[in-house]
Structure 1
Amino acid sequence: MHAFNLQAKPVTLAERLADLAVEALIDEADLSPKPALVDRRGNGAHTDLHLGLMHASALTLWPAFKEMAEAAIEFGEVGLPLREAIGRIGREGERAMLATTGGINTHRGGIWALGLLVTSAALAPQSRAAHAVAARAARLALLDDADAPRVLSHGAQVAQRYGARGAREEAQAGFPAVIQRALPQLQRSRDAGHGEQNARLDALLAIMAQLADTCVLYRAGEPGLHAMQQGARAVLDAGGSASLAGRRRLHELDQQLIALNASPGGAADLLAACLLLDRIASGDGMIQGAF
């Protein structure tokens, strides 16, 4: 075939949703300055993670997100067959992630949260409001995948120990940290003219101010959790990340959490979910006629 006759292959709905999920993970990683998390400044409270690894991990997950969306289109409804299919795809995606990262857990929570949301969005592409996508994802999360490993993750163990709501329960409840806190704060900060990066930081802080982050509980116990929640509230109360007083508080929170080895990875996963839902709801970059 002559080169001039080649035409770009149209992007499918599943491919575009996978694009959005990966973009959300990369945007979360790049956002700076995040307290005690990997960002453009450095590794935060982590010794085994860096920004390049977070990018590589996110890109590795594109096929899994695409296959989840395709499964949703194939099955066409919330039900056990779809739940088991995306569970299998998610575990395959996790294995690919671990192969890329040398066994380091970069995005296990992101696979769960964003995978459910991508699947939900593909099920009903005309119903793209954030609360509707999250509600369908919750219905999927409530179904029991018989093939899922029964070994408790660190997050699940910590959730049981402290009576906290882990990633599984957050999804089953319809992502309240995102729907009730992060997305409203994101919009408030945008409306106030704080700029997109500051608005995203404020959304992260709104999650941190209330979430019983199992990553923080695992690494630093209840003292770390209290420091995270109180410090995040202090930043928002001081005017948010767009204000000079808020930035000072944010720097203090960053230093305090690093000293405690308390990295809010659960909040970071939910910020990525927030960014994904925001893009889906707006139809940003979506295929003409699909959303």
Structure 2
Amino acid sequence: MWGTHAEDKNTFSTAVAELAVSSLIEELELTPKPGLVDKQNTGAHKDLTVQLMRASAESLWDTFKEIALISYDRFPEQSLREEIAAIGRDGEKTMFRVTGGINTHKGAIWSIGLLASAFSIGKGRFTTEEILSTAGKLARYPDQYCPVTDTNGKRVIKKFGVKGAKGEAQQGFPHIRQFSLPMLNHSRAIGLTEEKAKLHALLSLMAHLDDTCILHRGGSDGLSFAKEQAAIFLISGDFDLLNKIDEEFIKRNISPGGSADLLAATLFLDKIGKMQSFNEVSNEYQLI
């Protein structure tokens, strides 16, 4: 049992930060990931390394803790949306200081930040569906303090008419709900290893998501090619194909960064689910 309300909030928020950062590192180290930085190579990224990505993830620990702390036992409302957005923008500045101006986890700050806030609103008691729904409700509130900037993502959304990370969140992360989490659980159920189950979850995202990172680099042709290759892999179940797809993605400068962000968010939700299940059967150890 916890002590005071303040102690509960702090302990809970610390746990949320640990789950968030470990999810980012877990996504990073998953190998092989076509076009993405992993333990095998740097994919289509000449300016990134595993070490830099790990340092970036670790630098966001305080960001996720502050988001959880300020969201604890609150309601999903305009004021909270703007408060966590301000924390997220500070987190982006920290990330850019660590990476020398390279965008490593901006999308993940947005997606996992919203999910962490939703989880904290429910004080750790929300189901996965409730977390996704609450995160979507938060994302639909406008942020009047958001600076007006012309980003790659905004240009892609305008040019290709896709919803992007913002639209994905506002709809309650449908690609996580419909594809990556079910695929992760199904892959485990049929006896695949954890690594292979997570790779299946990633490729299920790649096969369906209109990934703005791919569109930015490769246009519609690049996106169609990536979706096609991901679908071929999922149908075949041949993990040797991943290295060949990786080679093709590198040649074509394709990086499914949006899918990687959603995979990290998927792993975050998965860790929450495991933690909740453990707490239901354990009287000795309680994290929430």
Identify the TM-score tier after normalising by the shorter chain.
Answer: over 0.9
Residue number in structure 2 paired with 1:258: 250
- Matching residue's letter, 1:159: I
Residue number in structure 2 paired with 1:248: 240
Does residue 82 of the first structure (1) align with residue 74 of the second (2)?
no
Q: Distance in 2 between matches of 1:233 and 1:130?
A: 26
Residue number in structure 2 paired with 1:109: 107
- Matching residue's letter, 1:28: E
Residue number in structure 2 paired with 1:212: 210
Give unpaired runs (5+ residues) of structure 1: 1-8, 240-245
Residue number in structure 1 paired with 2:261: 269
**After superposition, what is the alpha-carbon deviation per residue over 1:175-232, rounded to whole angstroms, capped at 9, x for unaligned?**
1111110000001110111100000000000000000000000011111101110000
Q: How far is the alpha carbon of 1:168 from its aligned partner?
A: 0.4
Residue number in structure 2 paired with 1:17: 16
Q: Distance in 1 between matches of 2:263 and 2:150?
A: 24
Q: Distance in 1 between matches of 2:146 and 2:26?
A: 29
**After superposition, what is the alpha-carbon deviation per residue over 1:224-253, rounded to whole angstroms, capped at 9, x for unaligned?**
1011100001001002xxxxxx12322221
Q: How far is the alpha carbon of 1:288 from its aligned partner?
A: 4.5
Give unpaired runs (5+ residues) of structure 2: 1-6
**After superposition, what is the alpha-carbon deviation per residue over 1:114-152, rounded to whole angstroms, capped at 9, x for unaligned?**
000000000003433222111100000000111011213
Q: Distance in 2 between matches of 1:22 and 1:57?
A: 10
Residue number in structure 1 paired with 2:66: 67
Q: Distance in 1 between matches of 2:135 and 2:33?
A: 27
Residue number in structure 2 paired with 1:229: 227
Residue number in structure 2 paired with 1:35: 34
Aligned length: 276
- Matching residue's letter, 2:152: H
- Matching residue's letter, 2:28: A
Q: How far is the alpha carbon of 1:68 from its aligned partner?
A: 0.4
Residue number in structure 2 paired with 1:5: none
Q: How far is the alpha carbon of 1:282 from its aligned partner?
A: 2.0
Q: Distance in 1 between matches of 2:88 and 2:240?
A: 40
* Higher mean C-alpha displacement, 250-259 vs 176-185: 250-259
C-alpha RMSD of the superposition: 1.7
Question: Is the contact made by 1:36 and 1:264 (CA closer than 8 Å) also made in structure 2?
Answer: yes
- What percent of counterpart residues are identical? 42
